[in-house]
Amino acid sequence: MTATATSPPRTNGKRPTARRTSTSAQAVTRNRGRIAAGVVVLATAAVLAVMVYGNLGHRTPALAAARAVSPGQIVTDTDLKVVNVSADPGVELVPASQRSAIVGRRATGGLVPGALLAPGSVTDGPSLPPGSTLVGTVLKPGQYPIGLREGDVVEVLIAGGDSGSPGSSGAVTATVAAISSRSGPDGTAVSLAVPSDSAPALARAGAESRLLLTEPVR
């Protein structure tokens, strides 16, 4: 009995159909994975964009100075304007809804046009004596009596004052116009209404934190 050998099918140099089908299936699987990964990336980018632009779009109506306001000046309605701002949670602003509570109060410091108001920008302090000028200083404990309040009449001395300067030979009477509600590492900011002729020397000493306040006992 003669055995007949069977020759493999000719492929003309091409791979078998089964292997070609397997390779195509793997390519399709890889493409689907890439598409899925791309969809995830796009979705994540869209969520981040919504979060970022959502925060930028969240603005709060707040009060700002519409024009220059001098220290001690009574704030009028025309001195204020409403602006929409996006601020960090720690930033203190005056909401536009408190406009009526700001009008009629005195500015604790100078306000420039466009400056945002803070809760300490105004005070209910007394009217300033005629012919007085506001000067500012930062006082440390020991430079002013405990319990000092706005409206108190005090005597101002310059520590280490030069001969001929106010306070070197006598005290200058002043009125406490405003006291900062917060104390910093350098002390407490205080505004004083002083006689205009003594203001330059007191302002220079105040900038150097060399003012000493005493309060007469009545």
Distance CA 115, CA 109 (A): 12
When the pLDDT of each residue in the chain is averaged and rounded to a whole number, the result is 77
List beta partners, residue 173.
155
Residues 118 and 140 in one domain: no
What token pair was written down for 143? 């430079």
Which residue shows structure tokens 């000046």? 73
Q: What is the pTM of this model?
A: 0.47
d(CA 196, CA 203): 11
What local confidence, expressed as pLDDT, does residue 163 receive? 38
Confidence at residue 144, expressed as pLDDT on a 0 to 100 scale: 92
Residue 19 has a pLDDT of 55
**What are the φ/ψ torsions at residue 140 (nearest 5 degrees)?**
-95, 160
CB 171 within 8 A of CB 195: no
Based on the fold, state whether residues 136 and 106 are members of the same structural domain. Answer: no
Residue 32 has pLDDT above 70, yes or no: no
Tens digits of residue pLDDT in 133-185: 888 899 999 999 988 888 888 999 998 765 345 444 578 999 888 888 777 78
pLDDT at residue 49 in the model: 56
Asked if residue 44 is part of any domain, the answer here is yes
Rounded mean pLDDT, 113-127 = 82
Bridge partner residues of 136 (DSSP): 191
Instruction: Say what percent of the chain tops pLDDT 70.
Output: 67
Q: How many folded domains does the chain comprise?
A: 3
| Model pLDDT for residues 192-202, shown as the tens digit of each residue | 989 989 999 99
Instruction: Choose from 4-18, 36-50, 61-75, 156-170 the range with maximum mean pLDDT.
Output: 61-75
Examine the pLDDT at 66 and tell me if it is beyond 70: yes
Task: Say if residue 137 is in the same domain as residue 195.
Answer: yes
pLDDT at 115 > cutoff 60 = yes
Res. 121: pLDDT tops 90: no
Domain housing 72:
60-123
Collapsing DSSP to helix, strand or coil, 32 comes out as helix
Pair 47, 103 in one domain: no
CATH number at residue 118: 3.90.1210.10
Q: Worst-scoring range by mean pLDDT, 63-67, 103-107, 195-199?
A: 103-107
